Amino acid sequence: MAERERKGTPPFGGVFVARNQVLDAAGVARAVKRMAHEVVERNSGLTDVIIIGLQTGGVPFAEAMAQALLSIENVEVPVGKLDVALYRDDINLRPVLPEAVTEVPFDLRKKVVVLVDDVLFTGRTIRAALDAIIDHGRPRAIQLAVMVDRGHRELPIRPDFVGKNLPTRRDEAVNATLDDLLNQTDRFAEVQQRAIRKVPALRGKTVVMAFFEDSTRTRSSFDLAARRLSADVVTFRAGSSSVNKGESLRDTVETISAMGIDGIVVRHSSPGVARQLTNWTDASIINAGDGQHQHPTQALLDCYTIRQKRGDLLGKRIAIVGDINHSRVARSNVAAFTKLGAEVVLVAPPTLLPASLDGWPVKVEPDLDSIIGDIDIVYLLRIQTERMKEAMLPSDREYRSRWGLTLERARRLSPEALIMHPGPMNRGVEIDPEVADDSRSVILDQVANGLPVRMAVLFRVLGAGQFEEQDNGAQTSGGRR
Amino acid sequence: MTLTRIVGGEVLDANGRRKTDLVVNDETGLIVDTAGEQVLADLELDATGCLVLPGLVDIHAHLRQPGSELSETIESAALAAAVGGYTAVVAMPDTDPCVDNAAAVNDVLALAKAVKCEVVPAGAATRGRKGVDLAPVGELVAVGVRLFSDSGSTIQNAGVMRRVLEYVDGIGAADGLQLVVAQCPQMDTLTGLMNEGALSSTLGLSGQPALAEELMVARDIGLAQLVGARLHLQGLSTAGSVEAVRRAKASGASVTAEVTPHHLVLTEQACATYDPNTKVSPPLRTETDRQALWAGLADGTIDAVATDHGPCPADSKERPFDHAPFGVIGLETALPLLATEIESGDIKARIQLDQVIAALSWQPAAIVGLSNRHGGPLVPGASANICVFDPNKTWTLNRSTMVSRSSNTPFAGRELHGAVRHTVFAGTPVVANGAVVDSTGTDGAAVGS
C-alpha cells in the first residue's frame, strides 16, 4: 500500500490505474512474471522466502507473485498480508484508519521476506511496514518489490524489484474512507495475536483514565487498550466518596487538562458527565459509562461479539432482560442493536422499565417465558440489590422465577442462541450458575472483545485526525480537537 | 429634596395607557401633583419610546441572607431587583437560620433598611419549615409578615396543611389583616431531577411526573375550600395544575397562582445538554404545559409571574446534573425575557404585553397586600415606585455583567428585546439608563443635566 497516490480501483480484473493508465492487464502479468524471475535469481531455490503483500493494494500482487513463483520453480511460497496503518508516521495529520487485516501466520525468524506493494512513492509506508514486520519477528532479510515506482522519496528506501518506473506529480490525493468502527476492530483484534502485542499508533499521546465510579473491568480494558496503542496512561483516582460526587467537574477536568493530555476516558455515576466535560477541556472525551445514560463501548463490544459469533445483527431477535431503567448498557444497546438491523425486545419487571419508551424502537414483553423459545440472543442485565430496598422488586427469588435465565428456560432457548451479560453477574439471580457456563454463553468473549473495540475507539478519537461529532448524547466521543 | 421628572414616556398601569410625564419626590417618596402648574425638576429621566410602569413586584424570591451570603445578599439581590425593574421583593424564609420567628424577621428587615428596594420577609408556615409544628404566626404577623410559606419544601402532611390554613386565616380575621398561605405544590415521594417522560427516560435522569404537582394542587385547593382559607400556589408548571386552578376559581375558591419566567420560556428540552442551569424545581415541562401556562396567564387563571429567584454559587452548578442544586436566578431578566417571548410565534396570539405587566406588578402586589405602596396606578399622591421599560432595545444577556452575586441562569448569551431603562424606588432613581445609580449620587446627578 502506498500512501496518498493509490486509488481504490482493484489492480486486476481490468486495468491497473495509478492515476494514469500505466499497465494494462497483460502488462501487469508480464511485469509480475519478470519480477518473479528476479526474485528467484536473488533467492535461489526460494527456501525460506515468504511473500507479504501490503494491505490493500499490494496483496493482489503478492498473490500473483506467489502464483508466478509456483509456475517458475514449482515452489509454494507462503503469502501473508500486512496492514501498516497503526505504524504510520502521519497518524496525527489526517484521518488514517486501519484498512484491512494483518495475516502473518508464520514464524519470520531466519526467513527472507519479500514485501510487495503496488506503488512506491515517498517511502513512508515501507518504513512503517519494516517496523510492523519486525514486531512479528526478526527475518533474516527483507526485500521490496513494487509494481510502480513514482519517485519523490522522502526516506532512504530503495526497491529491489520494480515493475515500472513512473515519475508523477506530488500532489495527488486519495480519499480516505471512514470505515465502520466495528470493521476496524478486526484489525485491532489481530494485534492481540502477535508476538509483540503492541503497536506504536498513539505513541506520544497521553490518555487519562478518570474513573469517578470504580469499575475494574472497564478501566483495565481501556487502560490496556491505550497501552497496546503505545499511549501514555495516567490514572486519575477520583474514588467514590461523597466529596468527589459534589466536587465541581470543572475544577477536576481543568486540573487534569492542565497536565497537557490528549484524551480523557471518563466513567461517572451521574448521567451526562461525559458531555458536560466537553465544556471545559479541549481534550477528547471518551465516555466509559455515565450513570444510567450511556455506555457506548459496551454496546460496540456487544455488537462486535454478535458479529463475530453470528456474522451479522440484521434480522436477529434480541431480548434485553432486566433493569432497563437503571441501565446505561440497555440504552446504548437498544440504539446500537437496532441501528444494525436487529429487532429488540425489552423484558423487564414493570417497575424497572423507563417511565416512557416513546421513540424507542423496541417491543416490550412482560416475561421471559413468552419469548424464550423465539429469540436469537438473550442479553441479561445485572440486578442491583438496591432495587429491593427501593421497593422496586419484592425479592431476588421472585426476580429469578419470572425474569431469570434459569436452567429450565435455558433448555427452551434455541441451541443456536447466544447468552450475553455485561458483567459482573449475579449467579443465581438473573442467571443460573450452570447457564453462565453454557456453551451458548459468550460472556467471556464479550470481555475479551472489549480490548480491540476500545483500541479502535481510542485510535479513532486520538489517532486519526478529526471526525464529525454526532448530534446526541450517545456519541463515543465529544472530541473537539 | 430632589424632584425627578420622567419625560416623554407612556404610562401603563391598572388604569390603562396614557402619554404623560411624571414628577417624583425623593423626600416624600410620592408622585407629585403637577396639576395646573409648572414644576421645575432637579433631574430628568428620559423615557422617550418607553413604557412607564408601576414598579414590578416579585412575590417569590430567595435572597439567601442570612446563611448563604456567597450566593446572594439582601444588598446584591436588591440591586438585581432594581436592574430588573422591581421595587418590591418578597423574601422567602428558607434561609439559615430559617425565618420562623420574630427575631429572624427583624434581622432581615434591619438589613433591608439599607437597600433601595422594599424587601418583604415571608414567614415559614411551620417551625423550621419541617412541615410538622405550626410556626408562631401571631408573633410573625406582629412584625409585619403577611405571607406564610415553607418555600423550598412542601407541607406533605395534609393534616398539618389544614391546620396551617385554618390558623393563618383565623389570625388574619382576628387582626383584620389580609394574610395568605403559599405553597410550592410537590409530592416529595414522586420527585425527580427533571420532567418525567420520554426525554428523561432517554437521558437517564430520574423524572418527576406532572402528577407530583397536580396531586398536591388538588389537595391544597380542596383543603383551602374545606376550611375557607386563602391559598396561593407558587411556581405552577403543568397544564393540569392550571386547569385545576381554573376550575377552583370558577367554583369560587379563594385561590391565587403564580408561574415563573423560566417555565414560560423553556421546556424540558433545555435539559438535554445536562446543563445544571436548567435544573429547577418544579422541573421544566413540555411544550404543551408551557402553552397552558401562557393560556392561564392570558385568561386570568394565573395571577402573577414570580421569579423564584434562586441564586447558587457557580461551582455548585458545575457539578454533575444530579448533584447540582435546583434553581436559577430571575430578577434581572424576568420582564425582558417575557417581552421577548411574546414577540414570538404562538405566544403573540395569546397575550398582550399589558397583561404580562399586570402579572408582574399590580396583581402580585395585591396577593401580598402591598398595593398601597407598589403596583398602584401612577397618579399624583401615589407611591413613586416606578419601572421605565424600553420595549425596543435589543441586547444580549452576559453573565459577567449581571449584578446578582450568582450567575446561574440558563439564558446567558440569549438576545433579548426590551430592557429596563430606569427604576425609581420611593422617588429616588436606583437604576438610570440601564446602570445602577452610584449610591454617592454622582451618576444620578449626571442623569438629568
- Tens of pLDDT along A114-159? 999 988 888 888 999 999 898 888 999 999 999 888 777 889 898 9
- Report the sign of the C-alpha dihedral through residues A15, A16, A19, A20, in that order: negative
Would residue B374 count as lying in a domain?
no
Using one digit for the tens of pLDDT, what is the confidence trace for A14-38?
223 333 344 566 777 888 888 999 9
pLDDT average, residue stretch B284-311: 98
Which domain-ending residue is among B367, B397, B426? Answer: B367
CB contact under 8 A, B320 and A273: yes
Report residue A181's pLDDT band, with 50, 70 and 90 as the boundaries.
Answer: confident
Average pLDDT over residues B94-105: 97
pLDDT band, residue B286 (cuts 50/70/90): very high
Task: Determine whether the interchain pair B322/A268 forms a contact, defined as Cβ–Cβ distance below 8 Å.
Answer: no
- Strands B207-208 and B194-195, how do they pair? parallel
Q: What is the pLDDT of residue A118?
A: 86
Predicted confidence at residue B92, as pLDDT, reads: 98
Q: Note whether residue B438 is domain-resident.
A: yes
Residue A473: pLDDT band with limits 50, 70, 90: very low
| Inter-residue contact B345 to A275 (CB < 8 Å) | no
Q: What percentage of chain A has pLDDT greater than the value 70?
A: 84
Q: Which three cell numbers stand for residue A99?
A: 484498512
* Amino acid A23: pLDDT: 56
Question: What is the residue extent of each domain of chain A?
Answer: 15-165, 181-291+448-463, 296-441
Please report the pLDDT score of residue A167 as a whole number: 59
Nearest Cβ partner for B204 among A250, A293, A360:
A293
Least confident of A45-54, A344-353, A382-391: A382-391
Q: Across the interface, do B323 and A358 touch by the CB < 8 Å criterion?
A: no
* Contact by Cβ (8 Å): A395, A406: no
Q: Chain A closest CA to B258's CA: distance in Å?
A: 28
**Nearest chain B residue to A334, by CA:** B202
Distance CA B106, CA B103 (A): 5
Q: Most B CBs within 10 Å: which of A277, A298, A323, A356, as the mutation test of the B interface?
A: A356
Mean pLDDT of A304-319: 93
Say which CATH number the domain at B422 has.
2.30.40.10
| Single residue among B367, B402, B425 that ends a domain in this structure | B367
- How many structural domains are present in chain B? 2
Question: Does A298 contact B at CB distance below 8 Å?
Answer: no
Question: A359 and B322 in contact by Cβ < 8 A?
Answer: no
Position B248 pLDDT exceeds 70: yes
pLDDT for B405-444, tens place per residue?
999 999 999 999 999 999 999 999 999 999 999 765 444 4
B65 and B45 share one domain: no
> A213, A240, A248: which to substitute to probe chain B, counting the most B Cβ within 10 Å?
A248
Q: Can you state the angle between helices B239-250 and B287-299, rounded to 10 degrees?
A: 30
**Containing structural domain, residue B97:** 55-367
If asked whether residues B39 and B119 sit together in one domain, one would say no
Question: Among all residues of chain B, which has the CA nearest to that of A242?
Answer: B323
For residues A105 and B25, the model is more confident at: B25
Check residue A306 and give its pLDDT. 95
Question: CA-CA distances (angstroms) from residue A289 to A275, A283, A318, A347, B161?
Answer: 11, 18, 22, 22, 43
Q: What are phi and psi of A309, to 5 degrees?
A: -90, -35
Task: Report if residue B378 sits inside a domain.
Answer: no
Residues B430 and B302 both lie in one domain:
no
Please report whether residue B372 resides in a domain: no
Residue B161 and residue B274 in one domain = yes
Domain boundary among B367, B393, B408: B367
CB neighbours of residue A92 within 10 Å:
16
Q: Give the per-residue pLDDT at A171.
A: 38
What's the pLDDT at A174? 27
pLDDT of res. A179: 40
Q: Which residues contact B119 (CB under 8 A, 6 or more apart)?
A: B63, B74, B77, B78, B88, B89, B91, B108, B109, B111, B112
Confidence of residue A44 (pLDDT cuts 50, 70, 90): confident
Task: Please report, as a single letter, which amino acid is at residue A20.
Answer: N
**Residue positions of B annotated with a catalytic role:** 308
Q: Are strands A141-149 and A206-211 parallel, antiparallel or unpaired?
A: unpaired
Amino acid in position A275: R
What's domain A15-165's architecture?
A: 3-Layer(aba) Sandwich (3.40)
Q: Is the confidence at residue A59, as pLDDT, over 70? A: yes
**Set of chain B residues whose Cβ sits within 8 Å of the Cβ of A325:** 201
Under an 8 A CB cutoff, do A355 and B197 touch?
yes
User: What pLDDT was estimated at residue B346?
Assistant: 78
CATH code for the structural domain at A181-291+448-463: 3.40.50.1370
d(CA A425, CA A322): 12
B196 touches chain A (CB under 8 A): yes
| pTM of the predicted structure, to 2 decimals | 0.81
When comparing pLDDT for B448 and B182, which is higher?
A: B182
CATH number assigned to the domain comprising residue B184: 3.20.20.140
Residue A346 burial (10 A CB sphere; 0-12, 13-18, 19+): buried
Give pLDDT, residue B440. Answer: 54
- pLDDT for A388 beyond 50: yes
Looking at per-residue pLDDT, the higher value among A56 and A67 belongs to A67
Mean pLDDT score of chain A: 83
Average pLDDT, chain B: 95
- Most A CBs within 10 A among B318, B399, B407, hence the mutation to make, goes to B318
Residue B97 lies in a domain: yes
Q: Which CATH architecture has domain A296-441?
A: 3-Layer(aba) Sandwich (3.40)
Q: Which residues of B384-394 are buried (b: 16+ CB within 10 A; e: fewer)?
A: bbbbbbbbebe
pLDDT of residue A256: 87
